[in-house]
Structure 1
Amino acid sequence: MNNFSTRVLSAIVYAAIFIFAIVYSPNTYIGLITFFGSVCLWEFSKIIKLNNVLLSIISLVALISLNYLNILDINKIIYLLIFCLLHSVYLIIDLYRKNFNKQTYILKAFTTVSYLVLPFFFLAFLPFLNNQYEPQLIIYIIIIIWTNDSFAYLVGKNFGKTKLFERISPKKTIEGFIGGFLFAVFAGFLIGRYSEILTTVSWLIIAVLTSVLGTFGDLVESKFKRQANIKDSGTIMPGHGGLLDRLDSLFFLAPFVYLYIHYLM
């Protein structure tokens, strides 16, 4: 089997598992996100050379379980969200720093929690509106991400000339970003017109957040990999790399979309 066939088959299996878990029940969705998050934590620990990754995985499982069982104080979630958002903004700003800083164990552990544990927590509960599970919500967001990534690649490959962040991701171009952004917004518009949940304006806002923050999420993960001098986060997906490579956009934007849907909409 050649590399292209391997990539296609791997992508189909990944998409089928993901969509089945989302559609089947809230339990399978939360379970899969917990598993995905645990794998990403393991991959990330290898990238930053963090020992005792088991503690991070236990933290993720415990946090999701406490909220799933309605034990976690709902009033405390906003503080976790603010903490997570502030660190995400810091990671975006840090992209513009040319030098890579060496991190202590404490900083590595802190980064792991705020970069992965909390975003996956908010991703797990993102599609719950008024305590009602809405699987279409997460599916539509994934469609917007795939639209953005696909057209960013196509436009960038055919028309891209101006590098977006050459130091971190040499293949990304401003033209590709604009192309992905426009098609993502168009996808959000179509979803808003025919979706039974949320308004068209809300979907346009979500599409903007998804395109912009999804791109930053990819760049942030690329910076971590470049600092570690590696190409892929893992090998769990033949032809694609690791789960962290596939989910970097989704979990990074999740807290921002969660803020909009649950507190600002």
Structure 2
Amino acid sequence: MKQRIITAVVALLFFIPLVAIGGMPLQLLAAAMAGVGVYELFNMKGLEIKSLEGVLAILASVLLVLPKATWFNFLPDTVTNITLFYLIVMFILMVPVFSKNSYTFDDAAFPVLVSLYVGFGFQNFILARESGVTVLMFALLVVWSTDIGAYFCGMKFGKNKLAPHISPNKTIEGALGGVICAVVVALVYLLVWPMANYNLLIMLPLTAIFSVVGQMGDLVQSAYKRHYGVKDSGNILPGHGGILDRFDSLLFVFPLMHLVGIF
């Protein structure tokens, strides 16, 4: 627990100033985290990240994260991040041709899906920050308060298992506690920093949905880890595991927030 707290404090001291600064420093951090996330998934599957498809998958995720207007403004206006991403996907799909089918279409699907999952999540992380610090902090607080509420409510009241085949320690009571905690935190936050796009009566039900979806993102990552027989996605954060262990919920929540127009 002590190591976990120390890592969290150090990470926040590094992370929060970059969130406040925004712009290129935060974009580079998000791209780096996306690259690490791709590496973690490759490593869980036992694949070599230095392989051609590993390098292409990292490149594809980074091309999704870095805003085209900032990093690739020398390209024509018709070229978008999705265009650049799909260009890399085309190269991945060509690998079976040059490997004489020793590398199959099914093999190519893994790096494509991994780069889309990680890259699109961190892309929306950057889009949230571009909408303002208050928007990004709202998203972060929803996920963080859900995690904290689920942990403590699960310890205190947890009796009924939520998904024992995937994550034996999670309980229904903990999940509900996480949702309630997120809604309470969102209520306090939104009273101080209201969201321009939606009023409070809409934001609170949306917060409950975001909390549930965030927990589903966590369960999805737990399912991957159980499938590949690993405890953590990585070890870059002592006491916390890998990047995906900390951002699995956000990779689901950020795109949904974008979809409903929060940013």
Task: Pick the TM interval, shorter chain.
Answer: 0.7 to 0.9
Is 1:46 the counterpart of 2:43? The answer is yes
* 2:98 alignment partner in structure 1: none
Structure 1 stretch 20-29 or stretch 164-173: which is displaced more?
Answer: 20-29
Q: Compared with structure 1, are the counterparts of its residues 193 and 57 closer, same or farther at alpha carbon in structure 2 (3 Å cutoff)? A: same
Is 1:142 the equivalent of 2:143? no
Distance 1:66 1:23, change over 3 A: closer
- Cα distance, 1:50–1:68 mapped onto 2, change above 3 Å: farther
Distance 2:79 2:161 in 1: 43
CA distance in 2, matches of 1:106, 1:207: 36
- Residues 46-87 of structure 1, C-alpha deviations (whole Å, 9 max, x = no match): 11234432211111222333534366659996xx9xxxxxxx
For 1:202 and 1:57, the matched residues in 2 are separated by 37
Would you say the 8 A contact 2:153–2:174 is kept in 1?
yes
Q: 1:75 and 1:40 mapped to 2: Cα distance?
A: 23
Identify if the C-alpha distance between structure 1 residues 118 and 188 changes in structure 2 by more than 3 Å, giving closer, same or farther: same
**Please, which of 14, 17, 20 is the counterpart of residue 14 of structure 2?**
17
Change in 2 beyond 3 A, CA 1:75/1:33: closer
Note closer, same or farther for the CA distance 1:208–1:59 as it changes in structure 2 (3 Å cut): same
Bigger relative contact order, structure 1 or 2 (CA pairs below 8 A, ≥6 apart): 1
Instruction: Give 5+ residue unaligned stretches, structure 2.
Output: 86-104
- Structure 1 unpaired stretches of 5+: 81-102
Residue 189 of structure 2 aligns with an amino acid whose one-letter code is: I
Instruction: Count matched residues.
Output: 232
Change (3 A) 1:149 1:57: same
Deviations 1:197-243 (A, max 9, x none): 43324532442232111100000000110001010111111111111
In structure 2, the partner of 1:258 is 258
If you compute each CA radius of gyration, which structure gives the higher value, 1 or 2? 2
For 2:231, the equivalent position in structure 1 comes to 231
Amino acid at match of 2:111: A
Q: Cα–Cα, structure 1 residues 145 and 228, in superposed 2: closer, same or farther, change >3 Å?
A: same
Deviation at 1:104, TM superposition (A): 3.3
- In the alignment, which of 131, 150, 153 is matched to residue 152 of structure 1? 150
Question: Against the structure 1 CA distance between its residues 105 and 49, is the aligned structure 2 distance closer, same or farther, given a 3 Å change threshold?
Answer: farther
Residue 29 in structure 1 maps to residue 63 in structure 2: no
1:145/1:214 contact within 8 Å kept? yes
CA contact (8 A) 1:188 1:206 kept: no
Runs (4+) of structure 1 moved beyond 6 Å? 74-77
**What TM-score results when the alignment is normalised by the length of structure 1?**
0.79
1:170 is the counterpart of 2:168: yes
Q: Judging changes above 3 Å, is the alpha-carbon distance between structure 1 residues 73 and 194 closer, same or farther for their aligned structure 2 residues?
A: farther
Provide TM-score, normalisation by structure 2: 0.80
Aligned to 2:120: 118
Seen in structure 2, the aligned counterparts of structure 1 residues 28 and 204 have a Cα distance that, compared at 3 Å, is farther
In structure 2, the CA distance between the partners of 1:74 and 1:259, relative to structure 1 (3 Å rule), is farther
Aligned equivalent of 2:63: 62
Q: 1:202 to 1:28 in 2, by over 3 A?
A: farther
Q: C-alpha displacement at 1:5, in angstroms?
A: 2.0
Give the AA of the match of 2:234.
G
Q: What whole-Å deviation, never above 9, does each CA across 1:116-147 have from its counterpart, x for those lacking one?
A: 12222222212333xxxx01211121112111
Secondary structure at 1:125's aligned position in 2?
Answer: helix
Question: Percent of aligned pairs with the same residue?
Answer: 30
Q: Distance in 1 between matches of 2:123 and 2:112?
A: 15
* TM superposition shift of 1:29: 2.0
Distance 1:73 1:165, change over 3 A: farther
- Deviation of 1:109 (Å): 2.0
